[in-house]
Amino acid sequence: MSKQTMSFVSEMPNYSVDWLLIDWIVGLFIFIMIFIYIAAALLSNRNYRTWPTHRYICWLAGAACIGLSLSGPLARLAHTNFTAHMVGHLLLGMLGPLLIAFSAPMTLLLRTLPVAVSRRITNGLKNQAIRTLMHPATASVLNIGGLWVLYTTGLYMLMHHNPLWHILIHIHIFAAGYFFTVSLIYVDVTPHRYSYRVRAVILIFAMAGHGMLSKHIYAYPPVSVPAEQGRLGSMLMYYGGDAIDLILVFWLCMQWYKSARPLVFATTIHSRD
Amino acid sequence: MKKEKRADHAMQRARFSARNLGSGVLFGLGLVGFIDEAVFHQLLHWHHFYDKATSDIGLVSDGLFHALSWFATIGSSFMLADVHRRHAFWPKRWVGGVLLGGGVFQLYDGIIQHKWMRLHQIRYNVDIRPYDWIWNVIAAIMIIVGIILIVRTQTHVSMTKGSKS
């Protein structure tokens, strides 16, 4: 055990990190994010229906998830502790993207910008490349596949040694989580829509891939991660993932339930003779 | 009037007999998955999160069935609400589906996952045979009773559909 801890200590990041600077940069970024969103909502309220309160709350909570995972005590601890890293991953890659998706930023963007610009953006969204990227299967592979690569290769180690990789991987984790969410749950502007059946099957496979990776990490944690942290982190990933998937599954099924509402109500069936 | 209402209800049941069955099967799958997780993993701590003997295919199978049962629990509840709002709920057929879905999953878990893929055993450091027998016999009984209920309601469906004209 002590040998393992020792080797872990020696594997700690070998570049110096100015945490205070990171806190400031992330804090400023989060502040700008919140400011732009609220300003856009208030501006567009003059021309459109009042922007609903729950969307502000989702955006604020989503921004808080991003901020907490990238700066402050959790991010500091995540650098050396795998369990803390996994809490950060759940916030940045799952809960944060989900909350941001529920705050419908694309809808807000399109109604705030001048109509001509908005039209150009919606035309741009019809692009084949974006269409492929936004397909639930592609988004799932990028999301879950990316995690497999991160945790089963030397990439996890590289991330802790190279600040550029650190930044790139964290951007990828959020972006992949976001595209995954919006490709399955249609809350925001969605140019290409797929049937409930297709989305349900893909979501099940994605959830399965996430669960399998969690259990794989339990047995084979990334290089330099102590066994105990690996086990705790893996279980956190497994059950935390389940909790957030619950929201995705519930929302998908609820939308099916609403859309499958019978057109002829049973009361009228009874009056038929 | 009351008679008419009952006839309509039977018609709705016959129309949505497949959805009653589908909802039941998925709910049964989810229910067994839930009992497995809540009772055997969390409360009794008999099952282990990971067993060193697990084969790769076991991990894949476990992941798929865990995801499927999670989705099935929620999906089947919405399907149940759907047949209810159509006044088409058919308890006997639905329970038949629950027993069939739950039984098949439990048998698969008991034979394929526990024994062949060696995912994990029902309990550790005990003579496992009685546990395995009880587990799989319960599963078999669930399947048999489920099939009987489904077949019996099935004849009802054809009768109702036949008398439609």
* pLDDT above 80 (res B45): no
In this structure, the number of other CB atoms found within 10 A of the CB of residue A92 comes to: 23
Residue of B nearest to A199 (CA): B71
Q: What is the pTM of this model?
A: 0.86
DSSP letters of B117-156?
S----SSSSS--HHHHHHHHHHHHHHHHHHHHHHHHHHHH
State how far the Cα of B76 lies from the Cα of A249, in Å rounded to an integer.
Answer: 11
Rounded to an integer, the average pLDDT of B31-42 is 85
* Domain ranges, residue A264: 15-271
**A200–B64 C-beta distance less than 8 A:** no
Check CB contact of B51 with chain A, cutoff 8 Å: no
State the pLDDT at residue B1. Answer: 58
Residues 6+ away with beta carbon under 8 Å from A122: A110, A189, A191
CB B34 within 8 Å of CB A190: no
State the pLDDT at residue A61. Answer: 97
Rounded to an integer, the average pLDDT of B9-14 is 84
Identify whether A246 is part of a domain.
yes
What token pair was written down for B53?
Answer: 């003997």
Please give the ipTM for the structure prediction. Answer: 0.84
Rounded to an integer, the average pLDDT of B78-103 is 93
For chain A, which residues lie within 8 Å of any Cβ of chain B, measuring from their own Cβ?
200, 203-205, 207-209, 211-212, 215-216, 218-219, 235, 238, 242, 245-246, 249-250, 253-254, 256-257, 260-262, 266, 269-270, 272-273
State the pLDDT at residue A111. Answer: 94
Q: How many helices (H) and strands (E) does chain A have?
A: 16, 0
Q: Which residues of B are less than 8 Å from A230 in CB distance?
A: none
> Does residue A113 or residue B164 have the better pLDDT?
A113
For residue B115, name the pLDDT band (cuts at 50, 70, 90). Answer: confident
Residue of B nearest to A232 (CA): B49
CB B25 within 8 Å of CB B96: no
**Structure letter (DSSP) for residue B46:** -
State the pLDDT at residue A1. Answer: 37
Please count the residue pairs, one from chain A and one from chain B, whose beta carbons lie less than 8 angstroms apart.
75
Q: What are A139-176's pLDDT values in tens digits? A: 999 999 999 999 998 898 888 888 889 899 999 999 99
* pLDDT above 80 (res B117): no
Q: Which residues of A are less than 8 Å from B8 in CB distance?
A: 269-270, 272
What token pair was written down for A230?
Answer: 């690996």
In this structure, the number of other CB atoms found within 10 A of the CB of residue B155 comes to: 9
End-to-end CA distance of chain A: 79
* pLDDT above 90 (res B30): yes
> Does residue B136 or residue A13 have the better pLDDT?
B136
The ranges of chain A with pLDDT < 70 are 1-17, 264-273
Domain total of chain A:
1
Check CB contact of B134 with chain A, cutoff 8 Å: no
Identify whether A250 is part of a domain.
yes
Residue A52: phi and psi, rounded to 5, are -65, 145
State the pLDDT at residue B121. Answer: 78
Q: Where are the domains of chain B?
A: 19-159
Residues 6+ away with beta carbon under 8 Å from B122: B40, B46, B47, B110, B114, B128, B131, B132, B135
State how far the Cα of A75 lies from the Cα of A89, in Å rounded to an integer.
Answer: 10
